[in-house]
Amino acid sequence: MAQQNGQSLQRVRQVFRYEEQLRANAQFLEENPDMKVRLRLMFLYGRVNGRGTVLYLNWSRAADYLLEICTEAIKLRGVCNLALSGGKTPEALFRALARQCILQPTTDWQHIHLFWSDERYVPHDDPRSNFALAYEAWLREAPIPRENLHPMPTRYANPEDAARAYEAELRAHFGDADEYPMFDIVLLGMGNDGHIASLFPGDPVLEETERWVVPSRAPAEPRQRLTLTLPVLKANHLWFLVAGESKAPLIEQLFAGTIDPTLPVAMLGEELTWLWWLSEELFARAFPYTRLWWR
Ligand code: 6PG
């Protein structure tokens, strides 16, 4: 009899613990409405893997949810800070966001600040510039104040000076309280060699642990780059936008857990809340290694 009482008491305590946890979770979501948006996106459309949540790359859905998270962040903190990625893939997202600027004029565009996760060391009007990509596809016509655009500077003779200037700009904007600048979302692409931002395989800057921004070297032109460092990326909410058949083998190795751990994309580690927006061919390769959140 005593044993039964003991077991039922334990069950009651367990229920109270769950009740308490549920109340704590509900309170957290009330205090962080942007997390409600993220969780809805992950549970409605995502499939989980240790590396994060895999989503089918739908540009208008990505743009809609990105803006919903921005809107909630602005309600919560008065500002939304995004770090944009480069390369070719994000152009479709920028064009979807440009459409939203017209369709959703009520969005608090003036409270959105845009930064970059990396940049090619070329003038901002050079077609190879990541800033130029976003400007032509979205920002030229967007109702975002020009002072809210924070491109990585490429006018310094020495890229080292540019990196330090950008880090100073980040510290001025985010303050020094946190160990790293906490963006609402950092967009990233992935190269078919496993690079992310402008962190390329074998580059010594992959070992950087203190600085937020460093010069780096790419294997292809334009070789000189600037990039956020690995610790900054790991500390943030990451959205990967990855498309292209050439990346399929690496995506499969990444989600199967067989990837070379020295590749930058693997060095990021694991974070369930990171989102991997994958194009059709890449989604199919990751799918077998994922499961629904509630299974
Ligand atoms: C860059 C990018 C880089 C890019 C990948 C994927 O400056 O090139 O930041 O990290 O995201 O190379 O590029 P694509 O989208 O063109 O495949």
- Judge contact between 55 and 239, C-beta under 8 A: no
Q: What per-residue confidence (pLDDT) applies to 104?
A: 81
Above 90 in pLDDT, residue 127? yes
- Measured in Å, residue 218 CA sits from the centre of ligand 1 at 11
| Ligand 1 atom with least separation from CA of 241 | 15
Q: What is the mean pLDDT of residues 115-143?
A: 97
Q: Is the Cβ atom of 87 under 6 angstroms away from ligand 1?
A: yes
**Angle at Cα 137 formed by Cα 94 and Cα 78, nearest 5°?**
50
Query: Where are the domains positioned within the chain?
Result: 1-31, 33-292
pLDDT confidence band for 2 (50 / 70 / 90): confident
Q: What per-residue confidence (pLDDT) applies to 264?
A: 98
Q: Is the Cβ atom of 197 under 6 angstroms away from ligand 1?
A: yes
Q: What per-residue confidence (pLDDT) applies to 102?
A: 83
- Choose the residue to mutate in 118, 223, 278 for probing ligand 1, maximizing ligand atoms within 8 Å of C-beta: 118
- Measured in Å, residue 57 CA sits from the centre of ligand 1 at 16
- Measured in Å, residue 104 CA sits from the centre of ligand 1 at 28
Percent of the chain predicted with pLDDT > 90: 85
Relative to beta strand 118-120, strand 238-242 is unpaired
In angstroms, what CA-CA distances link 93 with 106, 124, 187, 246? 19, 20, 11, 20
Q: Is the Cβ atom of 57 under 6 angstroms away from ligand 1?
A: no
pLDDT confidence band for 80 (50 / 70 / 90): very high
Cα separation of 106 and 259, whole Å?
A: 44
Above 90 in pLDDT, residue 177? no
Q: Is the Cβ atom of 86 under 6 angstroms away from ligand 1?
A: yes
Alpha helix (H) residue ranges in the chain? 2-31, 33-45, 59-77, 91-103, 130-134, 159-174, 230-234, 248-256, 264-267, 280-286
pLDDT confidence band for 1 (50 / 70 / 90): low
- Measured in Å, residue 31 CA sits from the centre of ligand 1 at 35
| Ligand 1 atom with least separation from CA of 118 | 9
**Angle at Cα 156 formed by Cα 151 and Cα 162, nearest 5°?**
55
- Measured in Å, residue 177 CA sits from the centre of ligand 1 at 31
Domain covering 33-292 assigned CATH 3.40.1500.10 in the classification? no
Q: What is the mean pLDDT of residues 229-256?
A: 98
Closest by alpha carbon to 173, among 112, 108, 224? 112
- Judge contact between 199 and 227, C-beta under 8 A: yes
| Ligand 1 atom with least separation from CA of 119 | 7
Q: Is the Cβ atom of 52 under 6 angstroms away from ligand 1?
A: no
